Amino acid sequence: MKPLLILVSGGSASGKSTVVQEILEKAGLDDVLIIKHDDYYLDQSELPLEVRYLTNYDHPSSLDNQLLLSHLETLLNGEGVEKPIYDFVMHTRGQKTEYVQSKPIIIVEGILILENELIRNLSDLNLFVELDDDIRFIRRMLRDLNERGRSLESIITQYQNTVKPMFHKHIKPTKRYADVIIPNDRKHDIAVDLIVTKIKQFLKEPA
């Protein structure tokens, strides 16, 4: 049976990973491959560090979607791939890769994962996680301070110059491609239950 491919989008720090974990726990699934679209940001090792700092990570052109598309086609064929790993401290792709094997369910999370038509065409189920802008900003600020070694000033500048305007220009409009929109600022049990039912139906279908 061809793996089930689920794309999960939403604004930065909207809680995509948390919602995915909730779905997997409710469905009782553990044989799942989760891929972060973030790892497919373009390699910038040829550029000086000060130039890398200026990267607009919220624009579609920052992503190597051709590589991701190729990897997804391979994974959907039941084979494994050497997935890149992005280093957000150095603002470039890491030298090491991670070998990942295909699983019955493949989930790709990313703010811009629904933007690319060729990737959408491979998908079986598209989700969009929605959360209030202010809450997302606070979550993003805490994450970047604690996990990505950013200064508060750089986080605020980046949010004002790229994150917020790019969300409204490139990310929010992709909601129209979602099969289910999940509100993450209130209870979303019904949306999660619908998704769990869909996944279970797929897994029961004969090859």
Asked if the structure places residue 41 within a domain, the reply is: yes
Question: For 5-18, what is each residue's pLDDT tens digit?
Answer: 999 999 989 999 99
Confidence at 46, pLDDT banded by 50, 70, 90: very high
State which residues form the domain around 165.
4-201
- Whole-structure pTM value: 0.91
d(CA 63, CA 40): 6
Q: Is residue 50 part of a domain?
A: yes
Hey, how many other C-beta atoms are within 10 angstroms of the C-beta on 131? 21
Q: What is the CATH number of the domain that holds 75?
A: 3.40.50.300
Query: Where residue 205 falls among pLDDT bands split at 50, 70, 90?
Result: low
- Cα of first residue to Cα of last residue in the chain, in angstroms, is 5
Question: Residue 121 domain-assigned?
Answer: yes
Taken in order 112, 115, 78, 95, the sign of the CA dihedral is: negative
8 within domain boundaries? yes
**Total domains present in the chain:** 1
19 in a structural domain:
yes
Q: Please report the pLDDT score of residue 206 as a whole number.
A: 59
Between CA 204 and CA 207 the distance in angstroms is 9
Question: How many CB atoms are closer than 10 A to CB 148?
Answer: 14
Please say if the pLDDT value at position 207 is more than 60.
no
User: Do 150 and 90 meet the contact criterion of CB atoms below 8 Å apart?
Assistant: no
Choice between 170 and 148, residue whose per-residue pLDDT is larger? 170
- 115 belongs to a structural domain: yes
| pLDDT of res. 75 | 98
- Token code pair at residue 67: 């590589």
